[in-house]
Amino acid sequence: MGFKRTSEPLNIGTALDLVDGTAASKSVTLPLSSLDREVFIVTDIQMDNEALPVPAAPGTSILLASVNKTSENVLGIDSPNCIGNIRRDVEATATAAVFQESFHPQESSTGQPADYLGIVATPNMVLAGSFTTSAGGAANRKVYVRVTGYRAKADADTYAALVTEEINQ
C-alpha cells in the first residue's frame, strides 16, 4: 500500500443523543479530498457515555455504540466496517447491581505510518448507537467519541480498492 501523509494528527469528535429503546446514527464528515485520493488513517479512538441508570427494580440498562466506516447499525469489532465499539450495561437484581463494560480496540497505535487501527476512504464515518432499559422511558443518554488520525494520499490502485471495499460492505 502506498500512502503519503498529508496532515498532522487530527482529533475529530462528536456525540450522539440516544433515546431509550430507539437506535440512532449520525454521519461524521471527514476533511478529505477525493480528487486528491485522500484517506483518513485512524490511529486512536476513545468512546465514553453518560452514566447509565441503575434500575430501581430487577432489570437492565444497556448502551451499545460503534464507529463505522459506512454502516448505520451498531457493529461488533468482528466486522471490517467497524473501527471501534463500546458496550456498557447495568443489571440490577433484588440484592445488588452489576456493571459490565467492553471497549474495542483497547489499545492505541503509535501513529506511525505502518501502525494504525483502520483506514476510512470515503468522506465520512458513522457513529451508531442504542440505549435500552427494561423499564423503558429513561432519560436520554449521550455517547461521545474522539477519533484521532491523519490524512494521507493513497496511490490510485490502493484508493480504488479501499473505496470499493467500503461501498460494498
Residues forming beta bridges with residue 5, ordered by sequence position: 152
> How far apart are the C-alpha atoms of 115 and 106, rounded to whole Å?
15
- Would you give per-residue pLDDT tens digits along the chain (169 residues)? 578 999 999 999 999 999 999 999 999 999 999 999 999 999 999 999 999 998 888 999 999 999 999 999 999 999 999 999 999 999 998 888 888 888 877 766 666 656 788 999 999 999 999 999 998 889 999 999 999 999 999 999 999 999 998 888 7
* Per CATH, domain 3-168 is 2.60.120: yes
* Backbone angles phi and psi of 79, in degrees to 5: -85, 135
User: What's the confidence (pLDDT) of residue 111?
Assistant: 61
Q: Which residue has the cell 470515503?
A: 122
Q: Are 169 and 47 in contact (CB under 8 A)?
A: no
Task: For residue 20, give the DSSP letter.
Answer: B
> How far apart are the C-alpha atoms of 8 and 45, rounded to whole Å?
16
User: What's the confidence (pLDDT) of residue 113?
Assistant: 58
User: What's the confidence (pLDDT) of residue 115?
Assistant: 77
User: What's the confidence (pLDDT) of residue 23?
Assistant: 96
User: What's the confidence (pLDDT) of residue 47?
Assistant: 93
Core vs surface per residue 95-112: b (16+ CB within 10 A) or e: eeeeeeeebbbeeebeee
User: What's the confidence (pLDDT) of residue 166?
Assistant: 87
Residue 20: Cβ within 10 Å count: 17
